[in-house]
Structure 1
Amino acid sequence: MRTEMDVHRPRLQQMKEWIFGYSARPLVLTALCGAFAPVAWTAPRPQIPIWNAPDIDKVCGETLSKARGEIAALERLPLSQATLDRVFGTWNRMQILIEDTQGPVEILTNASPDAATRTAGESCQLKISELGTELFQNEKIYAHFQRITPTDRIDRKLKKDVVEAFEDTGVALPPEKRARMKLILQRLEEVRQAFARNIRDNKTRLAFSPGEMKGLPASYLEKARRDDKGNYLLGFEYPEYEPFMGNAENEEARRRYYIAFNNRGTPQNLDLLGEAARLNREIASLYGLPSYAHFVTRRRMVESPETVHRFLDEVEGKVREVERREIGELRAFKAERLGKSVQEVTLNRWDLPYYQEQLKKARYNIDQEALRAYFPTDASVAWVFAISGSLYGVRFVPAKAPLWHPSVRYYEVIDGKTGMFLSGVYLDLFPRDGKYSHAAAFGVRSVSLLARRTPISVLVANLDRNGLNHRELETLLHEFGHILHGVLSRTRYANQGGTNVERDFVEAPSQMYEEWTRKEPLRLLHQYCKACPEVDEALVKRLHAARSFGRGIQYGRQHLYASYDMALFGEREVDPMQGWIRMEGETPTGYVPDTQFPGTFGHLVGGYGAGYYGYMWSEVLALDMLSVYGKNLMNPAVGRRFRDLILSNGGQRPAAEMVREFLGRDPSPKAFFEEITGRRGD
């Protein structure tokens, strides 16, 4: 489960947070949907335009003007003429019009090497956010949607979602409250941008002496920057931070890096997080709700904070004993390595990655850095394409396209049976200054069969150019699961496409796809690098065993993050830092003084506020859906069924309904809790 370093970024994410509330999407009526899916249509093959700052300013202004023209035309439409075709057709056109600017702007804001372009992108996003608030507080358009009486299940559900989105943006509030809601939403977008910018643009580098680098492999040392005194200069990119924390023998050096890493957005981001919590609390009060968590969850699968708390209580009951046992093992391992008694040593947060890695080397003969020879980056990408193509009946064909950086690659997704162009995919895999610092899937362009529109998605990551370790391979598959959800979507309306599903389901397809790194499919990777060491059955088993150790620690941490999130956005006002100190202080390793982790926790202002529980909730569904594959994860019949039922439908059907149909029964948390406790089989 990749969570700390990956963030899912669906297209128009900020806009949809208040437009659609990530509620369940319309039901699909298969016979009718077929009428909108002509197999032989030849769609244009769109690509992302590469704009500079002046381009963005110009295009953004033109888009806002056109969108306001569409809004004005819809306002002028007499209620008596507000037919479904006119209203829904205009609605779909507006979504597409805005997305054709917002999509490219968002990826350029997060990945362009040019600072001026990123700044112009942020300005444009703010303007589009303001437009969205104006649109969804428009009483006349709200009245048009209320008047329509669809007979088709897809359209009925679309109406329900859009009406709820209007209401969640304040259209039905009294004028004073509606005006306040508009200001709050505008400020929250500014907070989100500033929070992300403070982390993305942090160019701090810590100096470590050659002695402090002991334990790091030669390949790592060769790539690291150095100053004129011979010190190594390390920043906050994951390919630098994670190997260091797992291999550097010097505990003081690990402590220093850990503290710096957990302060990289502060102190500004702590203030921003506190402001976001206050503003979201005010939103809840405008609606007469006890908390922002109530406001959010009423549109999610869980429906209420009480369901979340019951789920988290159950997770805690399963994980706590496992976490304490694993920490006890690591403490004993540390004592043995230092030649001391267990009572003489303390296991600190900065010790956990290091002693987990060293224990796995000793116990399972698994060295994450040595694994890079097995998983070269290019071969790993080819392997992901191959297993995805085999499972879902598609091909990934390299193609030429304008690019925002020379290291980016573009591919066309072609249906293996019909030869039809389905979508475009960009891969931006390597770290650089000014780039989004985690791993994420950006849905830049949504599908719409009604508009004969094909999707585009972008996978952004910060991987090692020289090869991946097993965790990074897992991350690559996780994010590619999001990509597949976007590019294989075949939905009627643009705002139903791909990953535009309930936020507490959106991670399930990608979390399920991580499992392909632990079984037989992994052995196929050797086909794409004949010169690489072969991933034999024995290595696969050792990888599985090594991956299983530390699950208690991992899920204990996830439980902490989700619980903190629910507390921050709960009924009682919580100071972000004091709340964190108290809650982390109650964990087995305690709070680390001088760290300000909440200032790095971008999920809480980037769409996952009162929703971080969704990572584990989604994993319940992911591991349950995995059971349908049985012992053969490469079963093309099951893969095709998953594509047709889950991926293709995007948000056209409620997630619970799709999952139940795919399983042939109600979902069960059994596999998830067996994963936590280490009792899940191969």
Structure 2
Amino acid sequence: MSSENPFLSPSDLPYQLPPFERIDESHYRPAFERGMAEQRAEIDEIVANPDAPTFENTIVALERTGETLRRVSAVFFNQASADANDTIQEIQGEIAPKLAAHEDAIYLNAELYARVKAVYDADPDLDPESRRLLERYHLDFVRAGAALRPQQQERLREINEELSALSTTFQNKLLADTNASAVVVDDESQLAGLSPDAVAAAAEAARERDLPGSYVLTLILPSNQPVLSSLTDRPLRERIHVASIQRGANANEHNTAETVARIVALRAERAALLGHPHHAAYVLEDSTAGSPAAVHEMLDKLTPAAVANAHAEAAALQESIGDEFQLEPWDWSFYSERVKQAKYQVDAAALRPYFELERVLHDGVFYAANRLYGLSFAERTDLVGYHPEARVFEVTDADGSGVGLFIGDFYTRDSKRGGAWMNSFVDQSALLDTKPVVINNLNISRPPAGEPTLLTFDEVTTLFHEFGHALHGLLSDVRYPKFSGTSVQRDFVEFPSQVNEMWAVWPEVLANYARHYQTGEPLAQEVVDRLRESQIWGEGFKTTEYLAASLLDLAWHELSTEDARSLFPDDAETTQRITRFEADALERAGVAVAAVPPRYRTTYFAHVFAGGYSAGYYSYIWSEVLDADTVDWFTENGGLTRENGDHFRRTLLSRGGSMDEMQAFREFRGRDPQIEPLLTRRGLAS
């Protein structure tokens, strides 16, 4: 069996695309075991080298280890997110703690650390990227606990192993509860306000769940659900909202409260072991922000104006409602859309026929990338993706040379976690002679067969955003895989993707893709102008819900070990304690607006408890400071031109993590970032 395992040797497909036709679930366990064993042997060889430690025989040798493990991990964890099933979840539950232990065995290896430290202390003469690699490895070992006493290291191993298992548990429980919380509607009249294609998608979702004749409204990851802006049936809106914000807090086997409590306590304990007052201090030490104080200072500049704007918007919505009832969270999107329509004459539902997926993808997303960077995209129907809906595109540069592969997986399904994200199957590296293979996953409702996929404008923006991450991976030009593409500090990683959103509304790009899917008629210029003007409406809500989630994340991760223990004594009230903690934290932070729930509440905050954003959800708005300043630069310098794109590519996108991220920004912008463009964009300048 092992000789037939496709993970045990490099793929012979273009760009080393994994051979999905030959991959079976039975291959994962043996490939993980073989991959870990191989890397352990490679590490042993480095440690046993009788020669004095050098950059080449220690640091570069480390970069070359773990190829089999890298291959299987990339494929497996993408499937665990994009196409999970009971077997995959079972394997993930088994393998995640083993991988955590394997990583600890490397970074807590005293002899290996001694070699790394010897090279670091010798201060060899290196080129800038190699010097950064040496510095990063040394820092990674120290932050992983290599300098701790053996007894402390043993406890650290136990914590890391348990945390890895708990994150998997959180992810699986949340997926199950999100699917179970989907709202079933039996009477089509209750769907009044939804467009015909949205109704058809709900009927299709019901058929997939063996509920013919009914309609299923599935939930996306954030608190606020898109259908709330259209549904006229207020009780149904309330059902959907309650189903959304109760995920993970329901009294069933999918409740995540105990998992959250344990994660919070263990993260606090680990931070203390590593010499930090709390998890946030540990995380932010290695970020562009540098400290929780710096993050709070920035968020404090935004919070008062954002909340004031949210209250002003709420007053406008209540005026639209009148005296019939009091504005509630499930009313916000519905009446906000109507106020926006009256103010700007922009009807979101009427715009959807102009945003057909294929046209947005080819004539919008790909078109902008071609104009900026000279990239071309050709669908490779001869190459098989990991799922029938995963489409493979070859990307070529302006000179015709191959750049890599882009895989688009756009539709929602019960086996896919919520949200939208970018993954990588193969990282670009000159050292390993590899070119990138990157994936974008979205959660767009799939229409019935033969029907067009019509997007909301928010979904259009998400498509451009995630493709910004893809470009960061595709345009990487580094030597070492550790620095490839999006391998940058957490609070910098969203920056290129947020910049790419600007092209969704850039006049030349919008005019190229925004055409009626039936008639080909372009979206009228006056509608385009109103659409652009309308983007300022609702920023009070958007900024407040985002800040609430960011500050909630920080509140959880600024707990000391003692605080976490006192918050969660050994009793059966964990869900209620989490609810009270949330309310108190939001009140203290000044973002407790009754009609504006946090973008994510604790029990379904996947970024923080199942992803890599713990004490880092602030990153989106931190990066948006850079993004808004960059949009100003593009605007000042002529916008959609190859000269501008090449400058952004050369100074920033291609660098990955191979240099200090803020220095890369300065090389691009010519100065430090300024916050004023962000304040103007979000209506907070006054």
**When the two structures are superposed, what TM-score results if normalisation uses the length of structure 2?**
0.87
**Residues 37-78 of structure 1: per-residue CA shift (max 9 Å, x gap):** xxxxx9962102323221112211221121111011112123
Question: 2: CA distance between counterparts of 1:327 and 1:95?
Answer: 54
Paired residues of 1:243 and 1:369 also in contact (CA < 8 A): no
Q: 1:457 aligned to 429, 438, 461, which one?
A: 438
Structure 1 stretches lacking a partner, 5+ long: 1-41
Paired residues of 2:92 and 2:168 also in contact (CA < 8 A): no
**Partner residue of 2:622?**
617
Instruction: Using the TM superposition, give the Cα deviation of residue 424 of structure 1 relative to its aligned residue in structure 2, in angstroms.
Output: 1.3
**Partner residue of 1:445?**
426
**Amino acid of the structure 2 residue aligned with 1:292:** H
Q: Structure 1's 591 and 351: CA in aligned 2 closer, same or farther, altered over 3 A?
A: closer
**Residues 94-147 of structure 1: per-residue CA shift (max 9 Å, x gap):** 154432221111112122365424433453344323211111111111111111
**Partner residue of 1:470?**
457
Paired residues of 2:15 and 2:437 also in contact (CA < 8 A): no
Q: 1:669 aligned to 675, 679, 682, which one?
A: 675
**Partner residue of 2:43?**
71
Question: 2: CA distance between counterparts of 1:504 and 1:676?
Answer: 19
Question: 2: CA distance between counterparts of 1:461 and 1:501?
Answer: 22
**Partner residue of 1:11?**
none
Instruction: Using the TM superposition, give the Cα deviation of residue 240 of structure 1 relative to its aligned residue in structure 2, in angstroms.
Output: 13
**Partner residue of 1:215?**
193
Paired residues of 1:270 and 1:577 also in contact (CA < 8 A): no
Matched, 1:352 2:332: yes
Q: 1:502 aligned to 484, 489, 495, which one?
A: 489
State which drifts further: 164-173 or 344-353.
344-353
Q: 1:264 aligned to 244, 247, 268, which one?
A: 247
**Partner residue of 2:471?**
484
Q: 2:115 aligned to 141, 144, 149, which one?
A: 144
Instruction: Using the TM superposition, give the Cα deviation of residue 455 of structure 1 relative to its aligned residue in structure 2, in angstroms.
Output: 1.5
Paired residues of 1:75 and 1:140 also in contact (CA < 8 A): yes
**Amino acid of the structure 2 residue aligned with 1:163:** H
Q: Structure 1's 584 and 679: CA in aligned 2 closer, same or farther, altered over 3 A?
A: closer
**Amino acid of the structure 2 residue aligned with 1:212:** Q
Paired residues of 1:429 and 1:462 also in contact (CA < 8 A): yes
Question: 2: CA distance between counterparts of 1:430 and 1:679?
Answer: 38
Q: 1:416 aligned to 395, 398, 413, which one?
A: 398
Q: Structure 1's 487 and 125: CA in aligned 2 closer, same or farther, altered over 3 A?
A: farther
Q: Structure 1's 213 and 69: CA in aligned 2 closer, same or farther, altered over 3 A?
A: same
Q: 2:130 aligned to 142, 155, 162, which one?
A: 155
Q: Structure 1's 238 and 219: CA in aligned 2 closer, same or farther, altered over 3 A?
A: farther
Paired residues of 2:279 and 2:558 also in contact (CA < 8 A): yes
Q: 1:554 aligned to 542, 555, 560, which one?
A: 542
**Partner residue of 1:245?**
228
Structure 2 stretches lacking a partner, 5+ long: 1-11, 447-452, 568-576
Q: Structure 1's 48 and 124: CA in aligned 2 closer, same or farther, altered over 3 A?
A: farther
Q: How does 1:163-174 map to 2 (within 5 A)?
A: 163-174=138-149
**Partner residue of 2:343?**
363
**Residues 488-540 of structure 1: per-residue CA shift (max 9 Å, x gap):** 10111101010111111110111111111223121121589684331232122
Instruction: Using the TM superposition, give the Cα deviation of residue 238 of structure 1 relative to its aligned residue in structure 2, in angstroms.
Output: 7.0
Instruction: Using the TM superposition, give the Cα deviation of residue 210 of structure 1 relative to its aligned residue in structure 2, in angstroms.
Output: 3.0
Instruction: Using the TM superposition, give the Cα deviation of residue 570 of structure 1 relative to its aligned residue in structure 2, in angstroms.
Output: 0.8
Question: 2: CA distance between counterparts of 1:359 and 1:95?
Answer: 56
State which drifts further: 109-118 or 438-447.
109-118
Paired residues of 1:95 and 1:495 also in contact (CA < 8 A): no
**Amino acid of the structure 1 residue aligned with 2:81:** N
Paired residues of 1:349 and 1:589 also in contact (CA < 8 A): no
More relative contact order in 1 or in 2 (CA 8 Å, sep 6+)? 1
**Partner residue of 1:517?**
504
State percent identity of aligned pairs. Answer: 26
Instruction: Using the TM superposition, give the Cα deviation of residue 604 of structure 1 relative to its aligned residue in structure 2, in angstroms.
Output: 1.2
Paired residues of 2:464 and 2:497 also in contact (CA < 8 A): yes
State which drifts further: 397-406 or 640-649.
397-406
**Amino acid of the structure 2 residue aligned with 1:431:** T
Q: Structure 1's 508 and 189: CA in aligned 2 closer, same or farther, altered over 3 A?
A: same
Q: How does 1:299-448 map to 2 (within 5 A)?
A: 299-335=286-322, 340=323, 345-382=325-362, 383-399=364-380, 400-417=382-399, 419-448=400-429
Question: 2: CA distance between counterparts of 1:262 and 1:355?
Answer: 20
**Partner residue of 1:25?**
none
Q: 2:74 aligned to 94, 103, 121, which one?
A: 103
**Amino acid of the structure 2 residue aligned with 1:473:** V
State which drifts further: 149-158 or 379-388.
149-158
State which drifts further: 548-557 or 238-247.
238-247
**Partner residue of 1:542?**
530
Q: Structure 1's 611 and 241: CA in aligned 2 closer, same or farther, altered over 3 A?
A: closer
Q: Structure 1's 651 and 405: CA in aligned 2 closer, same or farther, altered over 3 A?
A: same
Question: 1: CA distance between counterparts of 2:211 and 2:111?
Answer: 66
Question: 1: CA distance between counterparts of 2:592 and 2:279?
Answer: 29
Instruction: Using the TM superposition, give the Cα deviation of residue 470 of structure 1 relative to its aligned residue in structure 2, in angstroms.
Output: 0.7
Question: 2: CA distance between counterparts of 1:495 and 1:577?
Answer: 39
3-state SS in 2 of match to 1:45: helix
Instruction: Using the TM superposition, give the Cα deviation of residue 596 of structure 1 relative to its aligned residue in structure 2, in angstroms.
Output: 9.2
Q: How does 1:196-215 map to 2 (within 5 A)?
A: 196-202=171-177, 203-204=179-180, 205-208=182-185, 209-215=187-193
Matched, 1:601 2:605: yes
Q: Structure 1's 599 and 392: CA in aligned 2 closer, same or farther, altered over 3 A?
A: same
**Residues 542-589 of structure 1: per-residue CA shift (max 9 Å, x gap):** 111222100011111111111111111114536533221224466464
**Residues 363-407 of structure 1: per-residue CA shift (max 9 Å, x gap):** 223222322210111111112111112211211121122222211
Instruction: Using the TM superposition, give the Cα deviation of residue 323 of structure 1 relative to its aligned residue in structure 2, in angstroms.
Output: 1.8
Question: 1: CA distance between counterparts of 2:424 and 2:93?
Answer: 17
Q: Structure 1's 321 and 591: CA in aligned 2 closer, same or farther, altered over 3 A?
A: closer
Question: 2: CA distance between counterparts of 1:376 and 1:468?
Answer: 6
Q: Structure 1's 183 and 214: CA in aligned 2 closer, same or farther, altered over 3 A?
A: same
Instruction: Using the TM superposition, give the Cα deviation of residue 212 of structure 1 relative to its aligned residue in structure 2, in angstroms.
Output: 2.5
State which drifts further: 670-679 or 401-410.
670-679
**Amino acid of the structure 2 residue aligned with 1:101:** V
Between the two proteins, the alignment pairs up a number of residues equal to 629
**Amino acid of the structure 1 residue aligned with 2:49:** L
Q: Structure 1's 251 and 352: CA in aligned 2 closer, same or farther, altered over 3 A?
A: same
Question: 2: CA distance between counterparts of 1:571 and 1:600?
Answer: 19
Q: 1:630 aligned to 613, 631, 635, which one?
A: 635
Instruction: Using the TM superposition, give the Cα deviation of residue 662 of structure 1 relative to its aligned residue in structure 2, in angstroms.
Output: 0.9
Question: 2: CA distance between counterparts of 1:442 and 1:145?
Answer: 30
Question: 1: CA distance between counterparts of 2:633 and 2:388?
Answer: 41
Paired residues of 1:318 and 1:673 also in contact (CA < 8 A): no
Matched, 1:46 2:16: yes
Question: 1: CA distance between counterparts of 2:97 and 2:439?
Answer: 22
